[in-house]
Each structure stands twice: as C-alpha cells, then as structure tokens.
Structure 1
Amino acid sequence: MSTSAAFPEENLSLTADQGFGFFPGSPGLTLKNGSYEIVRKLGRGQSSSTWLIENRGSEYVLVPSFGDTRYPNAGVGLDAVKILTANATRGHQRNELEYMNAIRNLGDDRPYISMLRDDFEEQGPHGVHLCLVIDIFSTDVSTFLRSAPDKRLSLHLTKMIVALMVESLESLEADIEAQLHVDGPPVIDGEFEFSGKQYPIMRSQPFPHNFPWNASRHLTELLTVYLTDFGDALKVDMVPSSLEISPYALRAPEVILGGKFDTKIDVWALGCITFELLTGHWLFEPEGCDKWSREEDHLKKMMELTGETFSASLLERSRFRDVYFDGAGNLLHIGDLNPVSIEDTLTNYGVKDVGPISQFIRDCLRFDPDERLSIKEVQSHAWLRFAFACCG
C-alpha cells in the first residue's frame, strides 16, 4: 500500500517539535549496531513507520499471512520493526513498550496478540527513535475491509474476525524470499531534504495475504487475526491525561461522560466494529454545530440507536454530567430524538438475518458498563458460538 492522502509525504520532513519526526530508513541501513538490516518499508501510520528487517541472530523466518507461522532458516531471520517518530518516542507512546513488555513477561506467546521480540533506541536526524521488533503480519483489517467492492464483509467473515478479536482481548505456507523476488527491489518514490541532507522516500510495500474479501465459509475457518499496536493502550486503573482515549467512532459513553472505565470499553468498541465490518460504515459519526457539541450529538445518536436512556445512577457517577444533561436527564441543547433501531439500520444497509447480529451489537452497547457484557460473556454469546468452535 502506497502512502495515502491521510499521511502526506510532506510530513516526512516535519520535525519532532512539529509533531512528527519520522525515521528516514532505507534498504541496507543497519540498526542496533548492525544486529538488524532494513530490507524494505512495510507501512506508515500517524506516529510510526514499519520496516522489514533481517535479523542476524534469529533462527526462524516469519511467514506473512493473517497468522504467525515460523519456519527454520539457517541463522538469518526476517522480522518487522516498528520505529516510532521522535515526537511519539519522547511522548506518551513510550507506554507501548511498557505494555508489550508486560505481555512478553507473562511467559508463552499470547494467542492472537502481537508479541515484542526486541526493543532498542536508534538515533536519527530528528532525535531518538524507539524501535520495537515484532512479528511480520499482513495488511490490517481496515485495509482488508476496503478491498471489498462495497467496503463491507460477509456475515461469516465478520463473525470470525470479531471472535478472534475477542480471543486476543482474553488473554498457507508462504516464502518471504519468494515474495520479495516477485515484488522486485524496494521502490523509491522520491526524496526529501532535512538539515541540508537528502533522504529517500520509500514506498510502503506490505506483504499480501491469501484471503479474498469474498472468502468462502470453509476458507474463513483458516483466518487468523492478531491484535497489534498498543500505542494508545491504558491500564484499567490509569487516569488518562486526555479523554480522547479511543477513536470517536468507537468511544464508549463512560469515556465521554468522564465516568470510571475498564475493559468494558473494549466490548463497546467490538459492537461498533462489528457493525462497520458488516456495512462498511461507522456506527456513530457525530457532528457538532453552533448549538451543540460533537460529544452531545454522539450521546444523542447512542440513545436514538439503542433506545436506552442514561439512568440517574449512571449520570451520578459521571464527572461531566452537567456538561451534557439537565437535572431530569435530558440533553441540554438537543430536544427531540429520531429513533432508528439497530435492526432497521442494518437492514437499510442490506444486511440479511439481522435478528441475531442485532442482539449481539445491542448487548455490547449497553450504556451502563455494569450491565454490558464482559469479554468472557461475549465469548459465550450465541451469535459467536460457531466461530469460537472454529478458532478454538
């Protein structure tokens, strides 16, 4: 995947003080005093870039697919390294190393979770960069979703992906060398200048996978999805420095209202993601205006979709109750609601057999976290039972 409009190339020359500071990697460049050598660029996000590297001390090669499979390789292995921008390195995303180390210290590899293999710091023209060596994976689920012509997936694919995400929260043979031969040499799309020196702009060349967007039920049983990227992770007992601890489309009501939150916000996100996979659209896309805030519109849309209201006991536990609600529990700046059920919303997007899936989404979207499903309860939900039988 080449760099998209969301990550314009001009960001490459922006400094850490400007919120960026990308590491200017290139093929042949060595890292960690020669322990690793960059082969090609795999991808780039808002605050990091990912590179394919040769690991001279490894005795295995990781195979790119949705899964994680190791094959013997004579003394030289291939891994991926996520290199944080200089800005992210000196900022809050250093927490990512802490959390990945905590997972690694549990002992054996956790199923369906990206494991940290090594970490180190590398000096670049923008400053110090935190480098996280991880397994090689294929494209992310969002890219997989966009590969479908109508930007949505079948019911059986969605069910399997959601089941595997739940598994990760609870806790195909291929040849990389052959793929590198097929792809040809790393592609340079130009160059940029920083402090009087020219650096190459490397094209992102992620590894493909073997799963088509319209995979059959039988093929879907071979699917593996991993939970990756812990840059914005938080401990359950941690007080965030910002309320923006998750993307708007996935934000649970207790986050907006300033209430106590725990792993139940992940269950809320699962309900939203399930809808997005099935329809190709966000479940919630709030908008603000001169009369009300984006957050108040978000709360309104939650009520319209679920048919729930925010109870007095829930609002009493919310620091920002008075920002959005009056004493009677009504929104301060928005009057009439326009209810549209989950069933009708799914049907309007062409989803079939909406009864079971609607109940699953509704169970994930209970306003009160105490009444929302736990991860273990999600695992035993009737809608996911068959998927867990396949992946368990």
Structure 2
Amino acid sequence: MSCSSSSGSEEEEEFDSYRKGGYHAVRVGDSFNGGRYIAQRKLGWGQFSTVWLAYDTRTSGFVALKIQKSAPQFAQAALHEIELLSAIADGDRNNSRSVVRLIDHFKHAGPNGQHLCMVLEYLGDSLLRLIRYNHHKGLDLNKVREICICVLTGLDYLHRQLNIIHSDLKPENILLVSPIDPSKDPVKSGFTPILEKPEGGNINGGVSMSFVEKKLKRRAKMAVARISERRASMGMPQEQKPQKSLEGIDMKCKVVDFGNACWADQQFMEEIQTRQYRAPEVIIRSGYTFSADMWSFACTAFELATGDMLFTPKGGQGFTDDEDHLALMMELLGKMPKKISIGGARFKDFFDRYGDLKRIKRLKYWSLDRLLVEKYKFLEEDARDFADFLRPILDFAPEKRPTAQQCLQHPWLTSNSNSNDNKLASGINNLQI
C-alpha cells in the first residue's frame, strides 16, 4: 500500500474488514501519537492497511498516515517494512534518492486491536494513475526519460548502497512527488487543516454512508461502460475523450511500498512481483537478485512510453498463465537459452528436453523496435534508441542485465539531442551516488 493522493483501487475496502484484527475505523479529526497527527481525509487503502492524509501539528505540514490492520500477521509485515524504511531514511538524510521517506512510526490502540502506524512523506498520484489520466496514449519520451532517471536513482540506492530488493516494482508503486491535480495538493490548494472533530463525527471513507455513495457511483460508471460497449458492437461512433494536457505536471517521482521488499541475503518468498512485471527467473524458479527489479523497471518504462503493458499473459486451453508469459517473452526476445531454462526448478513443468515450451508450439516472433514502430507508430529513430535502452535489461540471463547505475549512464538517458535532454543529462550527474 502506497502513500499517495490516489492509491488503492477504484473499489472500496470491504465493510466487514472493520473488525477485530482488521482495519481501524478513522474519523476526520481523530488524533494519533499523543495528538501529533490529525486525520484529514482518506487517501487510499490496501490489503493490509488504510492510508490517510494527516496534519502534523509539530511541523505544521501534511503527511501520509498508514494504519495497518491489527492481526499479528499484519503487524509482523509492518515491522519488517518499518525496518527497511528506517534503513532507507537513515542513509538518505537529505531526501534526494527518489525513495519514499519514513518520518515516524508508533502503535495505536483501537476497538479492533493494536495497529502499527507509519508516517510517510505525502506524495502525489501513482504512475498508474498518470497512465490512466493520459488515456493509455503513451507519454512523450522526454517525460519517460525524466521518470526513468528518478526510478533508476531509487533502485541504484536500494541495490548498491542498502542491499534491498524491492520485488514489486510497477507503475502503481511509483508516485509522483506532487498530485496531477493541484487542487488535490493540500499545500498548493491552501487547504486549511481540520484540528478537531467536525460536528457529528462522521467516519469519512471508513464505515459510513460513503460506502453506499461510492457503490452507487460505481454502478453508474458500469452502466455507462455497458452503453459504450453496446454502441461499439452496433458499429455506432464512440464518444471521444478529450486529450488531457500533461504540461505543468511535475514528473519527479519516488519508489514506494516496501511491504514485499527484502534484504538481498534474507529472501523469504520464492514467488515475487506482480504478474505482468515478473522476471523469467522468478517464473522458472532459478533464484533472483537485484536484476529482477531491473526487469520490472523495463516493463514499467515500456508501459509509460506506449500506454500498454509489455506482457499481459492469460492462461488458455491446455496452458497456464506462466506458460503464456514465457511464450510472450520468447516471441519478443527470442528463445530462452537452454542453459538458463534448465537451471530453473520448474524446467520440467514448462519445457521439453530440447528447451522448447511443451504446450505452446507456434510462436510469432516480433522484435522490440518493430513492435514500437508498427503497433505504436514510433519514429524509426526513437524506436531504435528506446529499444537499445530496454533490450539489454530484458535479457533472459539475470547476470547480463545492466545495473541501475549502468542504466543511468546509457546514451538514451544522457543524449544531448535537445534542450530538454541537456537538462536531464545534468540531472543524472547530480543524482549519481
């Protein structure tokens, strides 16, 4: 669960999760940690926690307050995350490494149990929200470069200085420093903090009428979507969404959500990463290290530039999601070398003795640069340069992938082809450790 102005999915958390061992019900104006933090509005939620905008009375600033479910397994996960975030904050005193900053942590007793709470710097929208805001059109490549520099700076710090594998890098877990909509920014919008409970003490975004209102809104959205689908099936023209301008949106961003992260020498899960961003070594079970994060980074960079996920595997008749995922990878990158595939504990599940997939035989090969030109209408030069940047990171051999530090030196990020790039190139030198 991240600490953004818009994290959590479009759905609302389950009402019945507000029980013993579950979420803590928060009201606007509720105070935490001896009155230091006062809840303002809900920012989002995750499987383990809810996140609130809070006012820090000590610093007179706004923060993200993450309140974990109270059951022991959630408390244990929070302690692990606090350990990692504390190390991140300790090594980044001037807050320049493009990773979210932990400000404070404490325990809060409520009717559903004792909840571990983390106070994190307040950040803006996720890159997933940015992609959706842009209607999956793909961002201008200069904006993609700017984001890549921030993410790689964060990964370089995590990998090289701290020995941490994020293990769940994706657009949802990278947050812009500021919200897309300035009116959502409590500082820029001149939001006056609430310092005491409003009359009636309504639970905002928790267990209240907001559940009913949001369900009604969701039903209305679904009805509109069904009408659109019907119009499309009848060949009727679709209503065109106006293209939104990205001008003025600050592309600086930070890596967030360390709930699944681990120390490189203390791994506790074999299966890591969200499906579409999962590295091949994780699927075939041949062990993983920092280079698994690099694979997820390349998938994310492609998605920013095109608006589409690089790999969207789906199980079918006679084959699984994993097999389809490996087939999609091979169609784009060529056959997985047998010396790599045979090193996986699941080799026999997927491959025959020749190193070919057992159940998916007909692969349609398509190089990355041709995909960018033919499907996404990139200019030949842009496609070639972007593919040159991504292709080495998408190597089936994890040890051959460039590190985050090496990627920061790649010509695609350091090129001086225009004034925007000059600014970026100088930024890279400042961001290096």
Q: TM-score range by the shorter chain?
A: 0.7 to 0.9
State whether residues 30 and 37 of structure 1, in contact with CA within 8 Å, keep that contact through their aligned partners in structure 2: yes
Native 8 Å contact 2:28 2:203 kept in 1: no
1:360 paired residue among 386, 389, 403: 389
Q: Give matches, 1:43-192, under 5 Å.
A: 43-58=44-59, 76-86=60-70, 89-90=74-75, 92-106=77-91, 108=93, 109-171=95-157, 176=187, 178-180=189-191
Q: Give the match for residue 240 of structure 1.
A: 268
Between the aligned partners of 2:358 and 2:330, the Cα distance in structure 1 is 14
Give the secondary-structure state (helix, strand or coil) at the position aligned to 2:300. helix
Higher helix proportion = 2
Question: What is the deviation of 1:377?
Answer: 1.2
Q: 1-side partners of 2:263 and 2:296: how far apart? A: 17
Which residue matches 1:259?
Answer: 286
Match of 2:257?
Answer: 229
In structure 2, the residue matched to 1:325 is 351
Distance 1:56 1:175 in 2: 15
Query: Structure 1 residues 5, 118: CA separation in 2 closer, same or farther (over 3 Å shift)?
Result: closer
In structure 2, the residue matched to 1:12 is 15
CA 5–191 in structure 1, closer or farther in 2 if over 3 Å, else same: closer
1:104-150 residue CA offsets vs partner (Å, 9 max, x unmatched): 23251352111111001222333332211111111111111211144
1:289 to 298, 309, 316: 316
Aligned twin of 1:65: none
- SS at 1:272 equivalent: helix
Uncovered stretches (5+) of structure 1, i.e. residues with no partner:
59-75, 205-211
**Are the equivalent residues in 1 in contact too, given 2:85–2:102 (CA < 8 A)?**
yes
Which residue number in structure 2 is paired with residue 66 of structure 1? none
Quick one: percent identity of the two aligned structures?
A: 26
Once residues 191 and 264 of structure 1 are traced to their aligned partners in structure 2, the CA distance between those partners, rounded to angstroms, is: 39
- The question of whether the paired residues in 2 share the 8 Å contact of 1:189 and 1:203 is answered with no
Partner of 1:32: 33
- Aligned-pair Cα RMSD in Å: 3.3
Shift of 1:43: 2.4
Tell me, yes or no, if the aligned pair for 2:25 and 2:206 is still in contact at 8 Å: no
**TM-score of the two chains, using structure 2 as the length reference:** 0.73
Q: Secondary structure at the match of 2:296?
A: helix
Measured against aligned partners, the alpha-carbon deviations of 1:239-290 in whole angstroms (never above 9, x if no partner) come to: 33351x1111110001111112111011111110111111111100111123
Deviation at 1:381, TM superposition (A): 0.9
**Residue 344 (structure 1) aligned with residue 330 (structure 2):** no
1:71 corresponds in structure 2 to none
8 Å CA contact 1:7–1:46 kept in 2: the answer is: no
Offset of residue 16 of structure 1: 6.8
Matched positions, count: 355
- For 1:338 and 1:92, locate their aligned partners in 2 and report how far apart those are by CA, in whole Å: 42
Structure holding more strand per residue: 1
TM-score, reference length from structure 1: 0.80
Amino acid at match of 1:303: M
Q: Deviations over 1:352-389 (max 9, x none)?
A: 32110011121110000111111111111111114343
Show CA shifts across 1:6-33 (max 9, x none).
4335x1332578xx82221121101123
Does the CA-based 8 Å contact 1:26-1:202 persist in structure 2? no
Structure 2, unmatched stretches of 5+, are: 158-177, 215-242, 415-420
